């Protein structure tokens, strides 16, 4: 399950992760009220959709007056925002996040995820913050550091220090990085997350580390023990068919092909799609009804 940036920051703030003050708004008037409460002199207006690359589509704007806050919020709310991750259809913006401006000195990248190859939680760090990490991996893989964490020992000081050295941090910045890594690991474990991505993690001109953007994904299979997180779900951001399938405990993913697939078992479903593509076809969906599916479940 995905959540919005402003929700992700609230979750991380609960674990002591450093984020800027901000507030969500559903109307231009609400945006102005939030900006007034935050105080100036600068604000960042961010469209809230479940997709990255918002800045490239005009979904992130820095403004320097209250009047511009209202104008930008009015422009964004209701717009169809197209980014590299939304596809050509884009997504409608129903809410915006207003955040304090900051004096950025450097932009970094830091994420925490499950490394399937080692079955461990891993940190991914790069000095190329603010960019698509897949693009960095393709063009300059030497600029990416991957650290796995032994689940028996948990995250240690040396993990934070190694990442800090990779970033080229000095003095108190190193201490902040060590603390941040520990807090992100704790948040990842205690919320049953599948991804925490901070892009960018910034170093300000005063030497503070701040999470300027945050993306959190959670394991759907663990939501039953996180009611407060399950309550953050925004159904309007999800594919209606996939949402309906999840309510019936079906694993469904919409694809762009023309051949429908209904299979009992994820492995068989993937093998079926491979065979379809091998013979020149394109699957229209991935649908795993589960190995124990009965008549009632599939009808």
Q: What is the pTM of this model?
A: 0.86
Residue 83, helix vs strand vs coil: coil
Asked if residues 284 and 255 have their Cβ atoms less than 8 Å apart, the reply is yes
- Supply the pLDDT for residue 282: 96
Alpha-carbon span 19 to 102, nearest angstrom: 11
Q: Which residues contact 137 (CB under 8 A, 6 or more apart)?
A: 144
Q: Which residues contact 298 (CB under 8 A, 6 or more apart)?
A: 262, 289
> Whole-angstrom distance between the N-terminal and C-terminal Cα of the chain?
25
Residue 117, helix vs strand vs coil: coil
Residues shown for the chain = 299
List % helix, strand, coil for the chain (3-state, nearest 5): 40, 25, 35
Strands (E), the chain: 22-25, 43-47, 60-63, 80-81, 91-92, 96-100, 104-115, 120-126, 144-149, 193-204, 209-211, 214-218, 251-254, 285-288
Domains of the chain listed by start with CATH number: 21-100 (3.30.1490.20), 104-225 (3.30.470.20), 243-298 (3.40.50.261)
**Token pair recorded at residue 214:** 């945050």
Residue labelled with tokens 């910045």: 173
pLDDT in tens, 154-179: 999 999 999 999 999 999 999 999 99
Residue 224 bears catalytic tag = no
Residue 292, helix vs strand vs coil: coil
Residue 275 pLDDT more than 70? yes
Asked if residues 105 and 127 have their Cβ atoms less than 8 Å apart, the reply is no
Residue 237 bears catalytic tag = no
pLDDT in tens, 127-159: 998 878 888 888 899 999 999 999 999 999 999
pLDDT in tens, 238-251: 878 887 887 777 88
The active-site residue, picked from 5, 6, 72, 109, is 109
- Supply the pLDDT for residue 138: 87
Alpha-carbon span 10 to 221, nearest angstrom: 22
Residue 23, helix vs strand vs coil: strand
The active-site residue, picked from 30, 72, 99, 197, is 197
Residue 297 pLDDT more than 70? no
**Token pair recorded at residue 120:** 């461990």
**Token pair recorded at residue 255:** 């694809």
pLDDT above 90 coverage of the chain, percent: 76
Alpha-carbon span 15 to 180, nearest angstrom: 10
């Amino acid at each position: 399950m995905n959540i919005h940036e402003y929700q992700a920051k609230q979750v991380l703030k609960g674990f002591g992760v450093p984020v800027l003050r901000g507030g969500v708004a559903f109307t231009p008037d609400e945006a102005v009220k939030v900006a007034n409460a935050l105080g100036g002199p600068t604000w960042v207006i961010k469209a809230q959709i479940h997709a990255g690359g918002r800045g490239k589509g005009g979904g992130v704007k820095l403004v320097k007056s209250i009047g511009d806050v209202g104008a930008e919020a009015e422009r964004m709310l209701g717009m169809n925002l197209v980014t590299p991750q939304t596809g050509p259809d884009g997504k409608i913006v129903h809410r915006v996040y207003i955040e304090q401006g900051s004096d950025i000195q450097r932009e970094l990248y830091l994420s925490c995820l499950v490394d399937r190859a080692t079955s461990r939680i891993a940190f991914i760090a790069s000095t190329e913050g603010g960019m698509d990490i897949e693009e960095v991996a393709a063009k300059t893989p030497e600029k990416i550091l991957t650290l796995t964490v032994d689940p028996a020992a948990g995250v240690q000081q040396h993990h934070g220090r190694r990442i800090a050295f990779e970033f080229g941090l000095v003095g108190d910045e190193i201490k902040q990085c060590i603390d941040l890594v520990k807090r992100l690991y704790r948040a990842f474990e205690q919320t049953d997350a599948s991804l925490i991505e901070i892009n960018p993690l910034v170093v300000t001109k005063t030497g503070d580390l701040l999470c300027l953007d945050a993306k959190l994904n959670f394991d759907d299979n663990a939501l039953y023990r996180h009611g407060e997180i399950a309550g953050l779900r925004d159904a309007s951001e999800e594919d209606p068919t996939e949402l309906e399938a999840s309510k019936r405990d079906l694993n469904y993913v919409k694809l762009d092909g023309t051949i429908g697939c209904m299979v009992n078992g994820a492995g068989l479903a993937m093998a079926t799609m491979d065979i379809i593509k091998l013979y020149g076809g394109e699957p229209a969906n991935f649908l795993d009804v589960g190995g124990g599916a009965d008549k009632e479940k599939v009808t």
